[in-house]
Amino acid sequence: MRGTPEERTAVAADLRAILHEHGFFYLSGHGVDPALVAETLAASKRFFALPEADKLEIEMIRSPQFRGYSRAGAELTQGQPDWREQVDFDCEEAALEIGLDTPAWKRTIGPNQWPSAMPELRDVISRYQAEVTRVGLEVLRAVAIALGQDEDVFEPMVRPRPRQHLKILRYPGRTSGASDQGVGAHKDGGLVTILLQDRLAGLRVQAQDGSWIDAPPVPGTFVVNTGELLELATNGFVCADVHAAISPPAGTERYSIAFFLGAAHEGSIPLIDLPPELKGSERGVSSDPGNPMFRDVGANHLKARLRSHPDVARAHYADVA
């Protein structure tokens, strides 16, 4: 939302239409140093090239916070395995002391896991995470302006610190007769997602009419999409579109880095009072009956993680799952 008042008004109108119709767009001019982008992608490729034993040193099953490495097929979407390797990171924090009356979601607060075979990964991931957090918060302010709100209307949701969930991802080439589910059809559960794609396409977005639209990589851009928390906050005026990723052809591999800006741990999601010209255009919140959305942020986050990682749920949340 830079430029003259007239330019800002025009951008706000365009963004408002996108938010209502698709919730997906390409973002350029974001200010993230291309050298940092290249360094982070290169580091993720080096990690996935490590021997399996080095990767399994930080396997997610070791982490009640759902941080660390997952082998291809370990994460589920709609109950089906996603054919991708990944490492999950979030805010670096000390684990809380957990008592009998502590809400279960507070167990998700804690440290990341870092591979001893690649100590430099921590620095590059931390620097990239800080930059995409900045971008995500700027996008959130632009969304507020597009909806006719003060630009800081979403600030209470992200104070004192937003969730900063980041995944580095490798999609192996599919073998003959295998499923092409890199990640199954789903909506993102947070506020805003910032996706970096490498040279291979794979992202697909489902339009309102049910058709699928390819979203190939465009050099120098991020793909940005809005999540279910914004859909919830606007009673469905903002669209959180279903999307998926298909596995690349045999003999190739696709890399991406996904960042999910979420609301603060202990927050709740209010209903934003839209201006008169937008009221009446809300669609309501369309959530999966088997995966309902809660306004309690912590409970929402834990529910999603338990569903996606049943092995971690069994290991650390047997009293909840």
pLDDT band at 147 (very low <50, low <70, confident <90, very high): very high
- Asked, for residue 12, whether it belongs to a domain, the answer is yes
Per-residue pLDDT averaged across 45-66, rounded? Answer: 98
- Asked, for residue 136, whether it belongs to a domain, the answer is yes
Contacts of 151 (CB under 8 A, 6+ apart): 1, 141, 142, 144, 145
Q: Mean pLDDT: which of 207-211, 234-238, 277-281 is highest? A: 234-238
Per-residue pLDDT averaged across 2-15, rounded? Answer: 81
- Asked, for residue 52, whether it belongs to a domain, the answer is yes
Long-range contacts of 117-123 (CB under 8 A, 24+ apart): 117/50, 117/51, 117/54, 117/57, 118/43, 118/46, 118/47, 118/50, 118/54, 120/43, 121/43, 121/47
Triad 293, 135, 193: Cα angle to 5°: 30
**Which of the residue ranges 131-135, 241-245, 290-294 would you say has the lowest mean pLDDT?**
290-294
- Asked, for residue 244, whether it belongs to a domain, the answer is yes
pLDDT of residue 225: 98
- Asked, for residue 124, whether it belongs to a domain, the answer is yes
CATH number at residue 142: 2.60.120.330
In eight-state DSSP terms, residue 268 is: B
For residue 140, pLDDT over 90 is answered with yes
Using an 8 Å Cβ cutoff, are 43 and 83 in contact? no
- Asked, for residue 321, whether it belongs to a domain, the answer is no
The residue to which tokens 């809660």 are assigned = 294
For residue 69, pLDDT over 60 is answered with yes
- Asked, for residue 81, whether it belongs to a domain, the answer is yes
Contacts of 51 (CB under 8 A, 6+ apart): 117
- Asked, for residue 117, whether it belongs to a domain, the answer is yes
pLDDT tens figures, 95-113? 999 998 999 999 999 999 9
* pTM score, whole prediction: 0.94
Q: Which residue has the higher pLDDT, 200 or 78?
A: 200
Structure tokens at 185: 């059809």
Contacts of 213 (CB under 8 A, 6+ apart): 204, 205, 206, 207
Report how many domains make up the chain.
1
pLDDT tens figures, 257-312? 999 999 998 888 999 999 999 988 998 887 665 667 777 899 989 999 999 999 99
**Domain coverage including residue 195:** 5-316
For residue 15, pLDDT over 60 is answered with yes
